[in-house]
Structure 1
């Protein structure tokens, strides 16, 4: 390992700088708490925030004798995507980080950003499972938090949607996603990346008004000029998180009290869930239940869940289909079973 090839290889040089030191120490605290010395994947796009993630991951791995797998995903969307991925791979060699490129074979032509994200997480999660890795680091940052808030606000999201991303949470593949930069701004991460890497990838979709996130980014800038700045939005998100924690407590309580799973995998839901609990709690319990059992990233649309909640309380209720499941009345219980394509219970 040649010290002159990278500032990151010299821990003292990197950590003596106030800016990079603050970012790294914050990173180290979060990773130690959630991962410790276990192996993890660092998700690298080639942008400045992900390069800052790579640099911090490299130092952490050397200080704590931890294996880090640097993954670059070629989404196969732009004509030069394969070449771009190789450029990122070469850039990481500046910190002696050998990255692996994973290529998405399926052509993504609709709902590009959402489908690209879904395929990206799937291919990286598959890599993790194949290599018995339980943790994945992403470079989500403070600006992402605020942009997500505006995006979900524009879609009429409720408390659940408007709350912030978590520092650590499991995805549907049971891989724990850790986000150590959630309190750091993109501006700061760009400065960190520039101190180590001379170049980084600029994704053209970030400024393309075809995509909602790009339009929201411009709107956010205009709103800041009107006084709706970052500090106020973060305060709102923090207040929402406090309320969400209280609701989560009662949702967990209600799941234990009103739901039972039988040996034949049939799930019994006590009708008292809908009679004794506020509608918000009932709604969240059902949404969470369907999401877990379907192993999907999101529950069914609110309209469908509300229809189920309304239907089960009617005297003539017999059956409702929602999210790939059948909900049948049996005495004072709702029996939830999976349905097949022929609409038969299994």
Structure 2
């Protein structure tokens, strides 16, 4: 079945778009941002949003990324700027600086766009970023993930609103909104034709060496009844409901079987194995590994399944996975701590008031200048000169030498420019009477 011909498809209207935005429940922010490439989808979204923002007294910031991958990109950016100027819209151009990839180009370019737009929104205190993914994009994403063997989460494809796709756990990045996921691409093109607005055709959209282009051709040229963008997009939406339910069950399981410490480690009650469905058990392990390892993505399903099988054995001898060390200090309980070798050796914090360390601890450092380092053996030796019995004090905090020796190297401290050692407040508060300075640090549970 071939997708609808452009002549058979009606244009999206301003009223229909207004309803789509209202479904997102964004409220009335002072300002929002939208990403635009110059293609029909993003240009239609930009112009529809421009009208919506005018009607609701919202300031619209329009962002485009100049990837510098093609010779024509500079001219296309100029053309886009001219088009938007005719609508009294200012274009903010973000340039992708640095060495460009020679492989995996589309994925790398997509990551660069997110990174640049997300950082711009963060720097300018914009909490809403709109993107122009539409029904066909959703269907293509579903198929790509199906071919890669994804489970429920992958097949749920893209959400209409979601957290920003970054490992930086910070509330300062914008939420991402996709109001057009249920809208046919042709209706967006029809909208532009009706207002006499041209758009740019990206030649990479016709390059069949890219997986997404191959999938797009498959969708457009197949003759199987029901194998179309609308049906696949609908299936992805149903998968989102299943995913939401599974996530709710996982949250309940975490509260029952996992205990997170302010010191950045987790304790897992092994009774979870006999009381939880295997799917929830796997999701629980995934969540703990992501949190303790400071990772944006979980281990692959195959590795999670292997870990679950290992935990079912009578004797657990320890394991390392996804930047996390797992070991046992008492019967029926597994400890998860950050693997030290994946932690940055040192990071300068000059002029930084807040800092996200190892994507696990949010540090409030105020006017402190120096470098952040893990509390490794060299730092402990430094503290011994000030507090001779510090190892014994640390042991009293953690109750077990193995826990102490594994957790301490996963914690941050600061060595000031004056050479002074500064400890995180949650640690110093346990060292009664220790004559050391502290900074605020909170574990991202």
TM-score (norm. length: structure 1): 0.87
Aligned to 1:217: 216
Larger radius of gyration: 2
The range that moved more, 257-266 or 220-229, is 220-229
Paired residues for 1:320-331 under 5 Å: 320-331=319-330
Distance in 2 (CA, whole Å) between partners of 1:48 and 1:235 is 23
1:295–1:128 distance in 2 versus 1, CA, 3 Å: farther
Distance in 2 (CA, whole Å) between partners of 1:52 and 1:232 is 23
1:294–1:71 distance in 2 versus 1, CA, 3 Å: farther
| CA-to-aligned-CA distance 1:126-161 (integer Å, 9 cap, x gap) | 111111111110001111111111111111111111
Distance in 2 (CA, whole Å) between partners of 1:103 and 1:185 is 30
1:158–1:337 distance in 2 versus 1, CA, 3 Å: same
* Deviation (angstroms), 1:18: 7.3
Unmatched runs of 5 consecutive residues or more in structure 1: 1-16
Contact 1:273–1:282 (CA under 8 A) maintained in structure 2: yes
Correspondence 1:85 to 2:85:
no
Q: State which of 120, 124, 139 in structure 1 corresponds to 2:117.
A: 124
| CA-to-aligned-CA distance 1:225-262 (integer Å, 9 cap, x gap) | 55423443344334433332332221121122222211
Contact 2:34–2:46 (CA under 8 A) maintained in structure 1: yes
Paired residues for 1:324-343 under 5 Å: 324-331=323-330, 332-341=332-341
RMSD: 2.2
Give the SS at the match of 1:198: coil
Aligned to 1:261: 260
Give the SS at the match of 2:133: coil
1:58–1:292 distance in 2 versus 1, CA, 3 Å: farther
Contact 2:139–2:233 (CA under 8 A) maintained in structure 1: yes
The range that moved more, 315-324 or 233-242, is 233-242
* Deviation (angstroms), 1:193: 2.2
Number of aligned positions between the proteins: 329
Distance in 2 (CA, whole Å) between partners of 1:22 and 1:224 is 34
Distance in 2 (CA, whole Å) between partners of 1:300 and 1:294 is 11
Q: State which of 88, 95, 112 in structure 1 corresponds to 2:105.
A: 112
Unmatched runs of 5 consecutive residues or more in structure 2: 1-9, 344-405, 411-445
Aligned to 1:304: 303
Paired residues for 1:47-86 under 5 Å: 47-86=39-78
Aligned to 1:25: 18
TM-score (norm. length: structure 2): 0.69
